Amino acid sequence: MAQYDFDLFTIGAGSGGVAASRRAGTYGARVAICEDDRVGGTCVLRGCVPKKLLVHGAHFHEDFEDAAGYGWSLQEPSFDWSKLQAAKDKELDRLNGVYMRMLRDSGVQLIPGRGRVVDAHTVEVAGKRYTAATILVATGSRPFLPELPGIEHAITSDGALQLKELPRRVAIVGGGYIGVEFAGIFNALGSKVSVIIRGDTVLRGFDDDVRSTLTQELRKKGIDVRCETFVRDIEKRSDGSLSLLTKSGDTLEVDTVLYATGRLPNTKGLGLEEVGVKLDARGAVVVDEWSRTAVESIYAVGDVTDRINLTPVAINEGRALVETLYNANPIKMDHSGVASAVFSQPPVATVGLTEREACERHGKVDVYVSNFRPMKHTLSGRDERTMMKVIVERASDRVLGFHMVGADAPEIIQGLSVALKCGVTKKQLDSTVGIHPTAAEEFVTMRNKRPDPEESAAQELGHDSGKR
Ligand code: NDP
């Protein structure tokens, strides 16, 4: 090992890179990490953390309104976007400091600058070369923008988190995680929001009941969800406003257009292909189940590998790798049963298979759905519903998926994801005593299966032929 400057050289100080480097440092490895931005990566600086702070800030709007039903009378609340932004930025500065300190305390050397792989054991940063037994690529991803006239006037989530003023009218293109999260933030803070999607409901890839419920709830909150359309052209007007021309020929006048149309792995200019690392068609680093690339000494974790692009997955991939390499504890990251949440308003959380996936992979399934008005809104009067869904493999009684749209969904599904990983059955859910009164108890009190459309049709046919 001493033939190299370091045991591990990590490129990119985001969630995956920092987690792996710190743990390797605590195991006594000599570790360096390079970063051309502040330490923290997308999640801490431009993603999960600032977004969630804005979600909290935005939710007060409804909380103030809901309080009236409980006897509170408030003066008309006012909101100051710049104060929220400043508070959020202060918190990000604090977290950046925490990350820097954690790296230092783990003995990891931080090298400022952009890294480029020169050979299987060498990384160049700011003109200086460093050698390492192992190189870890953890460079994350960046927003993808489609090509169309006027796209230069659009912002991405990076820009949305830095806006100096709250836009009066916002168009959001894309109905994935970022699109619906920002739709909720801007709408609650008082902007007029339009969401432009190509499909007929938001959140492609999620369970159909989740998609339709959330689309409906967004509309009930006043968000203009425009389906089965796309933007052809963006034109900037002399007053600074933007005019969007859509597929159908309609125009939409807004002050800001936010593109939330997916993300691409950050592999450009890293020198990876030149040294033999394979990339896929989207530019993601191809790795095996140990996060190893086509080059034996080079590994990759997180969004740059385009497996499951979530912070905790990147962290777990990084830690599994370090356990394997530096703690004689070989661990393969298990990508099954990973729960995820969308911090829309109301939020979504899910773990396991969608109904469609469950039917495709497991044949007959039983589906339990509960759709109700949360207790809080019996007094607040708000027209918001909660949807919960459990999908069960009929042959084994094993739960294949939990899905929820409604307040606290992410907090509730986190616990259920443990049960799912442990192979929980419907019978075990039924034998669990609920906590009353909560929304969560509904997951252990659902008794009625949703009628199977095929069986109902067969029964009806049998019934009809009997009559004849
Ligand atoms: P998503 O992949 O979630 O959604 C992309 C959206 O953009 C879809 O609605 C898609 O439409 C649409 N789209 C894609 N290309 C085009 C195009 N050329 N023109 C018009 N629409 C297009 O991406 P996001 O950007 O929302 O988020 C990126 C990733 O970041 C997520 O997938 C997730 O991994 C991560 N993330 C996680 C969060 C969390 O855990 N809470 C929060 C935010 C991000 P269609 O459905 O028609 O393809």
Buried-exposed string 393-420: b where 16+ CB fall within 10 A, e elsewhere? beeeebbbbbbbbbbbbbebbeebbebb
Of 3.40.50.300, 3.40.50.1820, 3.50.50.60, 2.40.160.10, the CATH number of 6-143+264-326 is 3.50.50.60
Q: Judge if 6-143+264-326 and 151-261 fold alike in CATH terms.
A: yes
Q: What is the average pLDDT across 171-197?
A: 98
What pLDDT digit, counting tens, does each position of 291-332 carry? 999 999 999 999 999 999 999 999 999 999 999 999 999 999
Whose C-alpha lies nearest to ligand 1, atom 24?
262
231-251 average pLDDT score: 96
14 CA → ligand 1 middle, Å:
20
Instruction: Report domain extents, the chain.
Output: 6-143+264-326, 151-261, 346-450
Mean pLDDT of the chain: 96
What pLDDT, on the 0 to 100 scale, is given for residue 464?
Answer: 44
Interacting residues of 231 by C-beta distance below 8 A, sequence separation 6+: 148, 171, 173, 196, 244, 245, 246, 247, 257
Give the pair of three-digit tokens for residue 392. 């069960």
Q: Per-residue pLDDT for 117 more than 50?
A: yes
Cβ pair 287, 300 in contact under 8 A: yes
Q: Give CATH for domain 151-261.
A: 3.50.50.60
Q: Is the CB of 182 under 6 A from ligand 1?
A: no
pTM (two decimals): 0.96
Determine the Cα–Cα distance for residues 110 and 93; give it in Å rounded to an integer: 17
Is the CB–ligand 1 distance for residue 230 below 6 Å?
yes
**Class of CATH domain 346-450:** alpha beta
Instruction: Report the amino acid identity of residue 117.
Output: V
Q: Would you call 335 a catalytic residue per the annotation?
A: no
* Tokens standing for residue 34: 């390079």
Q: What is the chain's length?
A: 468
Pocket flag, ligand 1, residue 343 (CB < 6 Å): yes
Over residues 69-113, the pLDDT tens digits come to 999 999 999 999 999 999 999 999 999 999 999 999 999 999 999
pLDDT number for residue 154: 98
